[in-house]
Chains A and B, each alone.
Chain A
Amino acid sequence: MSQRTVLFDKHVEYGGKVVDFAGWEMPVNYGSQMEEHHQVRNDAGMFDVSHMTIVDIKGAGVLAFLRYLLANDVAKLKDEGKALYSCMLTEDGGVIDDLIVYYMNDSWYRVVVNAGTRDKDMAWISKQAANFDVEIKEQSNVAMIAVQGPQAREKAIDALPLDVVEAASPLERFYGADCGEWFVGRTGYTGEDGFEVMLPESEAAAFWDKLAAAGVKPCGLGARDTLRLEAGMNLYGSDMTEETSPLVSGLGWTIAWEPADRDFIGRAALQAERDKGADQKLVGLVLEGKGVLRGHQKVIVENVGEGEITSGTFSPTMQQSIALARVPKATGETCQVEIRGKLLNARVVKPVFVRDGKPV
């Protein structure tokens, strides 16, 4: 059964081309993915991300629970509203999902997980919570709109209710503010500044119209994908899965090894992999000539071995093709990619292609 967010009628009204995404009928674009991409890099765009799952974890045992559940350490979060990116791992060190966790207060953390992994995430979190004094509650009547781009905050502030503006205006990057029924985070998945706004479903359509009136253009999931890839952000299910650890997914920086006595799920497996030395790494590729890199294309590194592209696309900002690829650890600065039987040269780079609107 395919599901619709509360903004479905708005997507149709604004000319969205609706496709299936992880069981949800979502707009892939509203005419041109390319224009929407540039709109976010140069001005401000909005995405309906209401299909994502918001989970509140509350109770006296919440700190201990999340320090056990997540590979990153929520004990780092000292300030109210501060957000942290983390992986949630299997005992084997595979990635169940990546998520954002906000510290609200000592007995309340808010977690946002992917739509496509909702069921397994909820089952896993509930199972692991059995021995902790916590209450887990999914927020099901909440819509979420990401407003992204260099002008996003300014334009969003014109559209937000006054009491929310007061809380949202002073937010620093990677902080969120609870405003009663609304919640605003200065976070996103595009490599641009902006807000992610959670609000009651009943108010979502009116807020969407207000944002549009303030000059924020609707953007589809197509542009969201090219924007996140340019920013070098991983996509769950493509760049990391339960079969791959954070160490070979460019996510080593999200593992909090210290304090050494913190026991988190997957720690032993990751430690063993680290001691042995991970044999692969996730890198960025830039195609030298014309063509388009795509997921699952074979990467050949001369005298070293082979790897595979995990996500690839044409970068609208750089006007050439870019990709994330998992390659042998010894890979140097160049490689070749096999596209329809031909070997094309690519440069191996740090997996960040565009930052704050400019090629890196």
Chain B
Amino acid sequence: MSEIPSELRYTQSHEWVRQEDDGSVTIGITDHAQGLLGDLVFVELPEVGSDLSAGEACCVVESVKAASDVYMPVSGEILAVNEALLDAPEMINDAAFDDGWLFKVQPSAEQELDNLMDADAYQEEIEE
């Protein structure tokens, strides 16, 4: 069974969002998503400083099997990216919610966070 931490928010496209104390959010793909993709071998991260809208494709994760887009869960500016993934994309397989984070965003429209699912709703979503 996939792990779904209760303190995070989720999207239908399998991104997770963690609200940090400084008002930024950290984003990654869920354990369920990495399981579907299989062994990850390449990650293309967004550019730090770019402004992107919610729902926009901003990042690509590739497994041996396939390439998959990652979408912005909320609008905002990219503050940082997890450069360690460039040499070790398998960290997403090993720790999707932790060392496998993808990028940090300064949200420009905080109310968008309310559109995201909580853990229970995401659980239901992936059981469908």
Of chain B, the residue at the smallest CB distance from A320 is B41
Q: Is the CB of B60 within 8 A of A222?
A: no
Residues B67 and A32 in contact, CB atoms below 8 Å apart: no
Of chain B, the residue at the smallest CB distance from A32 is: B39
Chain A residues lying within 8 Å of B60, measured Cβ to Cβ, are: 340
Residue in contact with A290 in the complex, picked from B39, B64, B65, B86, CB distance below 8 Å: B86
Name the CB-closest residue of A to B90. Answer: A34
Instruction: State A60–B65 Cα separation when bound (angstroms).
Output: 46
Q: Is B64 within 8 A of A226, CB to CB?
A: yes
Is the C-beta of B77 less than 8 angstroms from some C-beta in chain A?
no
Question: Closest residue of chain B to A35, judged by CB?
Answer: B39
Contacts of B38 in A (CB 8 A): 28-29, 32-34, 222
Q: How far is the CA of A84 from the CA of B62 in the complex (A)?
A: 37
- Per DSSP, are chain B's interface residues mostly helix, strand or loop, or mixed? strand
**How far, in angstroms, from A93 to B32 measured CA to CA in the complex?**
46
Pick from B42, B65, B67: contact of A33, CB below 8 A: B65
Tally of A interface residues using CB under 8 Å: 17
Residues of B within 8 A of A42 (CB): none
Contact of B42 with A290 in the complex, beta carbons under 8 Å: yes
Interface string of A287-312 (1 = CB under 8 A from B): 00011101000000000000000000
Give 23 CB contacts A-B under 8 Å.
A28-B38, A32-B38, A33-B38, A33-B39, A33-B65, A34-B38, A34-B39, A34-B64, A37-B64, A222-B64, A291-B42, A291-B44, A291-B62, A292-B62, A294-B67, A313-B64, A314-B41, A314-B42, A314-B62, A316-B64, A321-B42, A340-B44, A340-B60
Chain B interfacial positions (CB closer than 8 Å to A): 38-39, 41-42, 44, 60, 62, 64-65, 67, 86
